[in-house]
Amino acid sequence: MKRIVVWILGGLCTLVYAQSTELYRDPAAPVEERVEDLLSRMTLAEKIALIGGTGTTTRANERLGIPELRMTDGTAGVQLDRAPSMAFPAPIALAATWNPDLVRRAGRGMGREVKGHGRHVLLAPCVNIARMPMSGRNFEAYGEDPFLAARMAVAAVQGIQEEGVAATVKHFAANNQESERMFVDVAVSRRALQEIYFPAFKAAVREAGAGCVMSSYNKVNGRFASENEYLLKEILRDEWGFRGVIMSDWGATHSAIPTARGELDIEMPTGVFMNMDSLQAPIADGRVPLAAIEQKARHILTLIFKLGLFDHPPLARNPTLINTPENRQIAYEAALAGMVLLKNERNILPLNPKRVKTIAVIGPNARVARTGGGGSSEVNDLTPVTLLDGLKSRLPEVHFEFAQGAILDNTTEIDPIAAKNLFTDRSGKQQGLNAEYFNNIDLVGRPILQRIDREIHFTWDENGPGSGVARDHYSVRWSGYIKMDATAEYILAIVGDDGMRLWLDDQLLLDAWYPHGAMKRAAAVRLQKGRYYQVRFELYEKAGGAVATLGWDIAREALYREAAATARKADCVILAVGTTSALETEGRDRPDLVLPNGQDQLIERVAAVNKNVIVVLTAGSPVLMDRWIGQVPGLLDAWFPGTEGGHAIVDILVGNANPSGKLPMTFPHRWEECSAYRTYNRFKERSYYADDIYVGYRHFDKYHLTPLFPFGFGLSYTRFAYSDLHVTREGDHFTVTFAIRNTGTTRGEETAQLYVGAGQSSMDKPEKELKGFAKVRLDPGEEKQVKLLLTREAFAWYSEQFNAWQVDPGLYRISIGASSRDFRLEAELNLE
């Protein structure tokens, strides 16, 4: 018995001694020392296991007690396997608030939701610049201007990380289109990177201390971002001093040795290249230094320690942190502050409930809450508020009539064009279209199958179309003529996957020639009775099954008639139009800037019978408006407004709140006016940033183009006067002061914007650049002083010759105003 007691006591002493020597388990020890102690105890296999993900986590280590690092998607709320959560306004709407304090609060709310789902890392914010207006993920970021995006990024990161959650700034870098995003090579100057595409990342890392950075899918100047030495080492690690975790986007790693030698720390979602089989031999023979692997593990372990994961029990899901009243209030305030009043003729807004007895609520976004865009940011929203919900709750005495107007959901449902309207040639003797099937996706070479298809309405499984056609990687061309029995406007539509396009009389009418799931594209055309119109429909399939339909969207006319009849008998119309998470989404760009599915015509038909139409736009990016904007007196851009969007929209419409949002993007009259138009999708697997530093309003200024709505624009229900501009030098910076007075009769908020322009310069520089802003709340008649600081950075440009920032001496113009095209005060200063 005595021996047993001695043995037990001896074992306990040994255990206590062993634990006392495990420095990494001591919460009081410095993080750096704990990391080094733990790293010294890990085998090579354990270190390599740490740098390859397991889906949405890193790999736990039971032997050493290393916990997993749990991640979740969601730039506007948690997106985790469709688990219910709460949607904050889309980041583009947050940018439209021009209110970093509010964005910081939204970041904290998102951090709480992340913890509520038992996660440690949020894959947000996205800070990529909106180079072109139809990029599929514009809604996920903060607009076209690097200064505004940087201020929003800092606020978001600070808010998220104040809740003990690591923020992940993405996607580094030049990820500005979804078309060919997995492999497109972005050719861009270092000056444009430094002045336009880097600043938001730089601020998030250096000012806000972001815990993680995610590399992008694309190549930058010939190298994939995940193994790009210039991006990850020269800029991120060396120039900015980033010591956090660099992870790949999901599936964005393309090599073992170059990636292992580089700065990427974690390959996500799994270690396809970062694994023992791929790396053991290169480490053994010196092609991959062991120190490079240990450095990656060091970064990951440091984050785990900083988040306190070693010292606290694993986070369990906590539903009390999800969809809380506090978070809903933040979402409401952010939605309210981000909405932009674009037009208010005849002071149609705010609506007076005492004078409006019947309101026609029309449109596909009226009784569906379009809280956000699609893809990895899409939130499975809990109890979202629709526009119709908001109207009924805020205006109980008003009578509402609803009409759908257009259909944006179930977009693949169309009726095929009947064989009686399709002909192989102009003789009209043979019904149907000529079909050519190719065993490649490029419609090249000799067709493997030729036949006549009487109607184009197919659903092919993974066995393909048959008759010698490949099961995958095939393409089809249908050609012939359409002839109609009556002269009318018809809606021609196509459905297909992966790529599809339609020509009518040799004019490209519909184009979605890129990989995608089943989708519909449609366009209105006027066809004459008895005339033969040449038609060509092309489609390719890369993998899996496929669908293909050439048809009519014939339900639209009935919807238009119902909408017009509803509008005709109402005092006013609230017309809710826009896009959806299926149309603005990760993985593809919009094919154009047109409101989809005939909504332009819907607005025209409604405006023709009721002159009191207020259009409420729910979308994540600009849309074209020239066709109808002159016919409606009111226009409110609500973006994707999140869970509380319905309440916020109505409170703006009825004057419970004064609109104060300002555009974070330029709205063009035409896509052809935009900086990316000349080079976007013009070269296979290559994107030339020929616009260089001239993105957004910089481009419109350089070429003297008048936008539909300029960057920074937004109306209010009150008026503001600017006065008393003073610019004084204080050491190495300038202080700019001025006054703003509310000269109207309603309390409101004004965002004063400060732009800097070089008076005379030998260098090619933008006419002006945003370098400061302040959002000021004022009661009627109230005046406040505004103070903004300009450091030397505000006057700097990046020299590729010296790979450094430079400040030129000379005159600079300081412009203060309500938008990039509405200046109220100006002054000059001289830099020596």
Give catalytic residue positions.
Answer: 249
Bridge partner list, 778:
748
CA atoms of 746 and 726, how far apart (whole Å):
28
CA atoms lying within 13 Å on the CB side of residue 435: 21
Q: Are 378 and 79 in contact (CB under 8 A)?
A: yes
CA atoms of 328 and 473, how far apart (whole Å):
47
> How does DSSP assign 367-436, residue by residue?
SS---S-BGGG--EESSPPPHHHHHHHH-TTSEEEEE--S--SSTT--EEPPGGGEESSTT--SBSEEEE
CA atoms of 126 and 91, how far apart (whole Å):
8
Strand, coil or helix: 559: helix
Q: Structure tokens of 579?
A: 């896009």
CA atoms of 248 and 655, how far apart (whole Å):
46
**Of 407, 412, 366, residue with least CA distance to 390:** 366
E strand or H helix at 777: strand 769-778
Measured CA to CA in angstroms, residue 195 lies from 96, 773, 774, 831 at distances of 21, 18, 22, 20
Residue 744 CA, chain-centre distance (Å), reads: 36
Q: Give me the phi and psi of 715, to 5 degrees please.
A: -90, 170
Measured CA to CA in angstroms, residue 601 lies from 18, 75, 699 at distances of 77, 33, 31
> How many Cβ atoms sit within 10 Å of the Cβ of residue 447?
16
Strand, coil or helix: 604: helix
CB burial of residue 459 (10 Å; 0-12, 13-18, 19+) = exposed
Strand, coil or helix: 145: coil
Position 168, amino acid: T
